[in-house]
Structure 1
Amino acid sequence: MSASNPTEATGLHPTARPAEKRKDITFAKKDKALRVDVHALGEMIGELLKEQGGEALYDLVEAARRTAIDRREGDPAAGAHLDALVHSLSAATARNFVRAFSTYFQVVNAAEQVHRIRRWRDYLKDDSIRQPGSFEEAMLQLKDNGFELEAVYKLLSELWIEPVFTADNIEPTRRTILRKQQNIVRRLVDIQNPVLTPQETHANFDSIRSDITTIWQTEEHPIEERTVFDELEHVLFFLTDVIYRAVPPFYDRVRDALINAYGEDAQTLRIPQMLSFASWIGGDMDVRRDITARTMRETLARQRSLILDLYFNECRALSGTLSQSSTRVGISEEVMQRIE
C-alpha cells in the first residue's frame, strides 16, 4: 500500500486529532528558551518537508507524530495505528519518512547543545547557585569536605583521561554535513545576542534554513566503501575542528574553578595535563589487512601536518596580539626563553 495517503495507512486522517486534545507539556522556567528554539526549528522542518517532499510527506509525518503522541498519552489503539502506518510504507517513502524524523532530531540536538551553553552562562551570572556536575561544584565540594589546595592539585596531577578513536566507533556521516550541523549551532548561539537587529536575526534563521535544506538534499553516508584514509580524515575532522578547540577552554575552566574555590593561592598554579587522545585508525593491522608500514607513515605524516598547521595559525595570531617592542617595554626572561 502506498503511504502517499496517510488515511489509508492509519485509518485516521492526520488532521482528525484536534490540537486541544494534546496534553500540555510543561517546561520549567529555565527551559522555556529551549522550547522556543525547538518550536522555531520544528516549523522549519515542516516547511522543508512540504517544499522538498510535498504535502503528502508532510501529512504522513504529522500523522505518525500525532499518533505517537497518542500512544505516549495512553491511547490503547494508537500503537496499532502507528504499526500499520509504518508497515504500509514503500521503500522510497520509508526512506524520506525516516529522514524527516532524523533531520528533526538533528536540529533538536543542536538546540539542546545551545541550551546547555545558555544554562552554563546563566550559572556564571549567578554565583549563588552551583551548576550540578560542573567543575565549580566539584572544586567547592572538595573544599567543603576538607581537601586542601595541595591535595586537590595532587589529585589533578594523577588524573589521566585518554579517549581512543577506532574505526568501529566513528559514525560515517559526511564531514560536509557535520560542518553544516556546526554552523546551525553557531547561528543558534548568535541569535542569543540581545543587540542583534531584526534583520540580523532573520539572516541567521535564513542561514539555518539553508543548511537544513542542503542537509536534506545530501546523502548522509558515503555510498562507496570507506578506505583507511577516509576513516583517518573523518577522525581528524573531530580532532581539528572540535577537540582542538575544546581542550584550552577545558583547562581554563578547571583553573577558574580552582581559583573560585581556593582564591589567590590557586592563581599561580599551572594546571597539569589531564587529557590525551589516541587513535588506532591507520595503524590497526589486526583489523585491516590493507594497513602497511607505508600506511602508518602516511597517517602519522598527515596528523603531523595538520597539527603543525594549527600551531602555525595560533602563532601567527599570537604575533598579532603580542606586538610589543623590546625598545618600548621590558620582556621577561621566561617569555624570551619560550620564544627561543
Structure 2
Amino acid sequence: MTVIPDTLRQNVRILGELLGDTIMESHGPELFRKVEEIRRLGKEVNRSENSDPTPLTRVLSELEDKDILPIARSFNQFLNLANIAEQQYFSSAEAHTRDILEETIEELVDDLGKESLADAINRLNIELVLTAHPTEVTRRTLIRKYENVSKSLNDLSRTDLHQYELDQIRERLRSTVDEIWHTDEVREERPTAVDEAKWGFAVIENSLWRAVPDFLRELDAIARRRTGQGISRDVSPFHFYSWMGGDRDGNPNVTHQVTREVLLLGRWMAADLYLRDVQSLIASLSMTVADDNSGNNGLPMRKHLIVSVA
C-alpha cells in the first residue's frame, strides 16, 4: 500500500475543503451532500475487492439530470487540484533528500569516467518540438490559475512567515479555487491555429524560459563538482522547434497568412522576453566595480531558446 506523505495529504485535504466550500456556496447543501455521499461510497468500494458497489450504483442512478454536470465537475476539479498538490509536493525541497540529477551524474562517472562524461555533456543535443492540437481542452486561463494554486501551496510550506501572511495566502488560495470553479473548462468555440500558438508561447513564457537556464546552471554546477569540467560557453544543448502555425498536413486551416502571423507572434514574444531580462539586468548592474567573470559558474546569464517552425 502506498504511503502518502503527511504534507501532501494535508494539502489535498485543504484543497478539497476549499472546493467543498465553493460547491456549497454555489449549489447549496443538497448537492454538496450528494457529492459527499458519492465520495464516501466510492471510497468504500475501493477499500476491498469484495466490497458491494450496489449502494453507489443506486445513488448514481437516482441522480437528477440537473445535478449530473456539477457533480461530475466536482470530482473532475478535485482530481485536478489533487494532481497539482502532488506535483507541487514532489517538486518541493521536502521531497528531495538527494538530487536525482546529481545521483545520475555520479553513476555515469563510475561507468564512463570523468573525461568521457564531461565530453558527452558538452555534446548533448536535445531537440524538443512544441506542438498544439485542436483537442487541447485546458484553457490558458485555467493553466494560470492552476499555477497560482501550486505557488500558494509552496508559500504555505514556508517557515519564515507571520500568521497574517499565512492567512493572506490561504485567502488567495480560497479565491483561486473559487475562480477555477466558476471558469468554463471547455471552450465554446474551436481554437484557431493562432490560438494554439498562443498557448504554446504561454508555455515558453511561464515555464521553459526560466526552467531551461535553471536546469543548465544546475547541470553545470554538478558537472564541475563530479567531473571537474562545466558546460562550455558556446554549448547550447537544447533546441526548440514548433509545429504551431506550420502544420499544413494536420490542420487544413493553416495557411501561409496564419504561418506568417504565428512567426511574427513568436518574434514578438522572444523580443519581449529578452527585453524583460535586459531591463532586469540593467536594474541589477548598479555596481561601480566588476571583473571579467560572467556570473554563475562562468555560464552566460541566458542560454538561447531556438524556436522555429519545423
TM-score by shorter chain over 0.5: yes
1:219–1:330 distance in 2 versus 1, CA, 3 Å: closer
CA distance in 2, matches of 1:294, 1:332: 46
CA distance in 2, matches of 1:228, 1:237: 14
Matched, 1:240 2:205: yes
- Aligned residue pairs total 296
Give the root-mean-square deviation of aligned CA atoms.
2.6
Q: Whose Rg is larger?
A: 1
Alignment partner, residue 16 of structure 1: none
The equivalences for 1:1-340 within 5 A come to 27=3, 31-74=5-48, 76=50, 78-119=52-93, 122-123=96-97, 130-131=98-99, 134-145=100-111, 147-168=112-133, 171-262=136-227, 265-267=228-230, 269-270=232-233, 272-325=235-288, 329=289, 332=292
1:173–1:334 distance in 2 versus 1, CA, 3 Å: closer
Deviation per CA, 1:77-104, whole angstroms, max 9, x where unpaired?
5323333333433443111111111211
Contact 2:134 2:191 in 1 (8 A): no
1:300 deviation in Å?
Answer: 0.5
CA distance in 2, matches of 1:91, 1:158: 60
Contact 2:118 2:229 in 1 (8 A): no
Deviation per CA, 1:47-87, whole angstroms, max 9, x where unpaired?
12211121122111111111111111126453233333334
Contact 1:111 1:185 in 2 (8 A): yes
Contact 1:282 1:295 in 2 (8 A): yes
Contact 2:155 2:169 in 1 (8 A): yes
Contact 1:163 1:278 in 2 (8 A): yes
| Residue range with higher mean Cα deviation, 149-158 or 201-210 | 149-158
* Higher normalized contact order (CA 8 Å, seq sep 6+, divided by chain length): 2
1:78–1:159 distance in 2 versus 1, CA, 3 Å: farther
One-letter amino acid matched to 2:284? T
Deviation per CA, 1:218-250, whole angstroms, max 9, x where unpaired?
101210121111111111111211111211111
Structure 2 SS opposite 1:266 = coil
TM-score (norm: length of structure 1): 0.79
Name structure 1 gaps, 5 residues minimum. 1-24, 124-129
TM-score (norm: length of structure 2): 0.86
Identity %: 28
1:39–1:239 distance in 2 versus 1, CA, 3 Å: same
